[in-house]
């Protein structure tokens, strides 16, 4: 009887709040506005109003981010936008959580394949990934021509991960998957993984995560 091949071990990390402290999108808008058109910083109250509208359910996440890009960055040349995205990544990667660094180092020692799956735009997230020595990333796409691309968030993130695996011929039964996130919005992927790790430094949130069957981890230390 043929011996069954060992399962591929993979760890997928969320980015904002998981690997890095805080979010990246609004900081990217501010960073980009300062370098592309400083006068657009005067429009920050409008951006805040749009975010409130999103919280109230008046605007979807995909449309919100699209409007934020147009509002704060305008229509820069692709080459210039790429330069700003690279510079932002180089500055933002310093916010890597200490615990995240150790977890990723342990992944390397264990021979795990590492992937980042994030709602952040690939525009800058791919540079952050490379700076973290992660070669594979699934992220939201910013279409310069103005098309609204689905945000890689919640159920969409799980769908994108499943599609990514299928494109590479990786069957679910041949994979041992660990997914690491700080967001309950990632519940579909946390539940789908063999190991769901929930990043939080709050005892109450850790209890909620534990009740869902996820392992609470504190990356801030």
Q: Is residue 120 part of a domain?
A: yes
Asked if residue 105 belongs to a domain, the reply is yes
Number of domain units in the chain: 1
Q: How far apart are CA 112 and CA 106, in angstroms?
A: 9
Is residue 3 a part of any domain in this protein?
Answer: no
CATH of the domain at 106: 3.40.50.1000
Tokens of 184: 């309950």
Helix, strand, coil fractions of the chain, as percent rounded to 5: 55, 15, 30
The tens digit of pLDDT for each residue in 25-35 reads: 999 999 999 99
DSSP E strand stretches across the chain: 8-13, 113-121, 136-140, 175-181, 195-199, 215-217
Domain contains 129? yes
Residue 74: inside a domain, yes or no? yes
Which tens digit of pLDDT belongs to each residue from 77-128?
A: 999 999 999 999 999 999 999 999 999 999 999 999 999 999 999 999 999 9
Q: Is residue 203 part of a domain?
A: yes
What span, in angstroms and rounded, lies between the C-alpha atoms of 133 and 17? 18
Q: How far is CA 187 from CA 161, 167, 192, in A?
A: 14, 23, 8
Range of the domain at 208: 8-217
In a domain, 192, yes or no: yes
Cα gap 201→204, rounded to integer Å: 9
- Closest of 86, 62, 163, 55 to residue 117, by C-alpha: 163
DSSP E strands, 15-167: 113-121, 136-140
Q: Are strands 136-140 and 113-121 parallel, antiparallel or unpaired?
A: parallel
Q: Could you read off the pLDDT tens digit of each residue along the chain, which spans 221 residues? A: 444 568 899 999 999 999 999 999 999 999 999 999 999 999 999 999 999 999 999 999 988 999 999 999 999 999 999 999 999 999 999 999 999 999 999 999 999 999 999 999 999 999 999 999 999 999 998 875 445 678 899 999 999 999 999 999 999 999 999 999 999 999 999 999 999 999 999 999 999 999 999 999 999 99
Global pTM? 0.93
Residue at 139 is within a domain = yes
């Amino acid at each position: 009887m043929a011996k069954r091949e060992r399962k591929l071990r993979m760890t997928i990390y969320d980015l904002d709040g998981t690997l890095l402290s805080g979010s990246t999108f609004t900081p990217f808008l501010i960073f980009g506005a300062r370098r592309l058109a400083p006068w657009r910083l005067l429009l920050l109250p409008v951006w805040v109003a749009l975010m409130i509208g999103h919280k109230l359910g008046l605007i979807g996440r995909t449309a919100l981010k699209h409007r934020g890009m147009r509002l704060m960055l305008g229509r820069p040349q692709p080459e210039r936008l790429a330069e700003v995205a690279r510079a932002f990544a180089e500055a933002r990667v310093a916010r890597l959580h200490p615990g995240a660094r150790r977890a990723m180092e342990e992944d390397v020692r264990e021979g795990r394949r590492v992937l980042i799956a994030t709602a952040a735009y690939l525009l800058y997230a791919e540079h952050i990934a490379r700076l973290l020595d992660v070669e594979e990333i699934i992220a939201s796409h910013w279409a310069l021509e103005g098309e609204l691309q689905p945000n890689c968030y919640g159920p969409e993130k799980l769908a994108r991960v499943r599609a990514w695996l299928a494109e590479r011929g990786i069957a679910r039964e041949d994979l041992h998957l660990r997914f690491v996130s700080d967001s309950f919005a990632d519940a579909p992927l946390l539940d789908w993984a063999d190991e769901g790790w929930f990043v939080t430094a709050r005892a109450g949130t850790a209890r909620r995560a534990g009740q869902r069957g996820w392992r609470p981890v504190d990356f801030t230390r």
